[in-house]
Amino acid sequence: MAERHDAVDIIKTKRGGGTLADDQIDWVVDAYTRGVVADEQMSSLAMAILLRGMTREEISRWTAAMIATGERLDFSSLSRRTADKHSTGGVGDKITLPLAPLVAACGVAVPQLSGRGLGHTGGTLDKLEAIPGWRAALSNEEMMRQLEDVGAVICAAGSGLAPADKKLYALRDVTGTVEAIPLIASSIMSKKIAEGTGALVLDVKVGTGAFMKTEADARELARTMVDLGTDAGVVTTALLTDMSTPLGRACGNGLEVAESVEVLAGGGPADVVELTLALAREMLAGAGVTDVDPADALADGRAMDAWRRMIAAQGGDVDAPMPDAPHVEEVRAEADGVITRMDAMGVGVAAWRLGAGRARKEDPVQASAGVYLHRTLGEEVKAGDVIMTLHTETPERMPRGLAALADACDGAGTVEVTPGGSVERRLVIDRIA
């Protein structure tokens, strides 16, 4: 059958800074997924998009075309409204773990389709897989049943959602075109819109440990994604949040599960609690629930109950302790003072090299590897105090983990201790609706 467009014309239009017609977009996304448009043609188009940008209408159409390549889930038969959260990824970002059961405990169902980590930011599924027996792969029927019974499900996104994105993301990864904001926004939102959630909150991270290093870029990405969600009929808001310092004290799969359980038990680090509550309020408001305070559900154990049911429903042993790493090394303060820098990228790369993350998508991850911050930003230390411990199952990784800490910030190091210093962190930088 003759094709109705020519890929080269489309590439040339975008290369020249032109606007693509709706039908050109529909065709090129579909034809790429079918294998009619070749990888080299799509990579050329992706580069033209990176350099020339796209209008709001083009991004919206591109997103719709990606959704149309796969299935769409439909939660309209559930007895409760749905809300979901997406984070652009950060170090120590375990927020999904306490957040999903917390929002479920407040009466809104949370269908959280997640991925595995690649690079220095961990994946939610990798974290939960540190729990013995826990199963990430659910059928659509199992997911629906759990959403109705428990109210929250965190599971692997099946390959049926926006298959065009899977192919295109892998191509962008090897052609230097990941950073194009129209392509990031349409990639994330095609999956979230296809997932069928009624409301969505985006946690757009900014800082050294984030995808977006500058506030201006993070703002543009947030604005683009909020517009895409809104145009598609999903109540969408975004919080711009700081990722120059890791969230909480635990970075690594099992370590982060343990810290999430502390939060669900009413304790845990203040920043993790603050962000969990801020995102929960956005999700509840998006689903039209404004008369419930999620802080109460954390304090009175309802969120913990929902967590236990959510993990048990997927085969996880909720009472199993997280594994201890057999090899642990301490990093101590060299002077008295206040920690005025705890660089997210330094800690994230160290945890990754220790075995918490993977370099290639087929690599296994270690459940007990990571970095635990006994002291973090703004806290006082005395010379000789333990600032952090490094954990791994494979001791030959230790030197590279330590080197990641030392090499961060162009060699200035991950940690800065300033005598008499002080520092303020604005965790939630802005809200975009």
Catalytic residues: 86, 165, 172, 187, 191
Identity of the residue, 14 or 281, whose beta carbon is nearer to ligand URA in the bound complex: 14
DSSP state of 91: T
Decide the pairing of beta strands 337-342 and 415-418: antiparallel
CA distance 54 to 332: 49
CA distance 174 to 334: 41
Tell me: does residue 64 bind ligand URA (CB under 6 A).
no
Q: CB 86 → ligand URA: shortest distance, Å?
A: 8
Identity of the residue, 157 or 251, whose beta carbon is nearer to ligand URA in the bound complex: 157
SS3 319: coil
CA distance 112 to 123: 13
Q: Which of the stretches 1-9, 133-141, 184-192, 224-232 binds ligand URA when contact is defined by CB under 6 A?
A: 184-192
CA distance 50 to 66: 18
Give the residue, chosen from 54, 188, 228, 398, that forms a contact with ligand URA under the rule CB under 6 A: 188
Identity of the residue, 162 or 235, whose beta carbon is nearer to ligand URA in the bound complex: 162
Q: CB 288 → ligand URA: shortest distance, Å?
A: 27
Q: CB 113 → ligand URA: shortest distance, Å?
A: 11
Please state, in angstroms and as integers, the Cα–Cα distance from residue 199 to each residue in 104, 271, 359, 433, following that order: 14, 24, 33, 12
Give the residue, chosen from 10, 184, 200, 206, that forms a contact with ligand URA under the rule CB under 6 A: 184
Site for ligand URA in 135-174 (CB under 6 A): 169
How far is C-alpha 12 from the chain's CA centre? 34
How far is C-alpha 429 from the chain's CA centre? 17
The DSSP bridge partners found for residue 212 are 206
Q: Would you tell me the crossing angle of helices 253-264 and 270-286 to the nearest 10 degrees?
A: 70
Q: CB 254 → ligand URA: shortest distance, Å?
A: 24
Identity of the residue, 60 or 368, whose beta carbon is nearer to ligand URA in the bound complex: 60
Tell me: does residue 414 bind ligand URA (CB under 6 A).
no
Task: State residue 368 phi and psi, 5-degree precision.
Answer: -100, -5
Q: CB 342 → ligand URA: shortest distance, Å?
A: 24
Tell me: does residue 103 bind ligand URA (CB under 6 A).
no
Q: Which of the stretches 183-191, 230-238, 374-382, 395-403 binds ligand URA when contact is defined by CB under 6 A?
A: 183-191
SS3 57: helix
CA distance 359 to 120: 9
Tell me: does residue 110 bind ligand URA (CB under 6 A).
no
Sheet strand arrangement including 337-342: 380-381, 337-342, 415-418
Tell me: does residue 221 bind ligand URA (CB under 6 A).
no
Identity of the residue, 30 or 169, whose beta carbon is nearer to ligand URA in the bound complex: 169
Q: CB 169 → ligand URA: shortest distance, Å?
A: 6
Identity of the residue, 161 or 235, whose beta carbon is nearer to ligand URA in the bound complex: 161
Decide the pairing of beta strands 337-342 and 380-381: antiparallel
Q: CB 217 → ligand URA: shortest distance, Å?
A: 13
Tell me: does residue 210 bind ligand URA (CB under 6 A).
no
Q: Which of the stretches 54-62, 106-114, 179-187, 350-358 binds ligand URA when contact is defined by CB under 6 A?
A: 179-187
The DSSP bridge partners found for residue 118 are 121
Instruction: Confirm if 408 and 343 have CB atoms less than 8 A apart.
Output: yes
Tokens representing residue 333 in the block? 């303060």
Identity of the residue, 183 or 398, whose beta carbon is nearer to ligand URA in the bound complex: 183
Give the residue, chosen from 60, 69, 82, 187, that forms a contact with ligand URA under the rule CB under 6 A: 187
In the complex, the residues that contact ligand URA under the rule CB under 6 A are 169, 183-184, 187-188
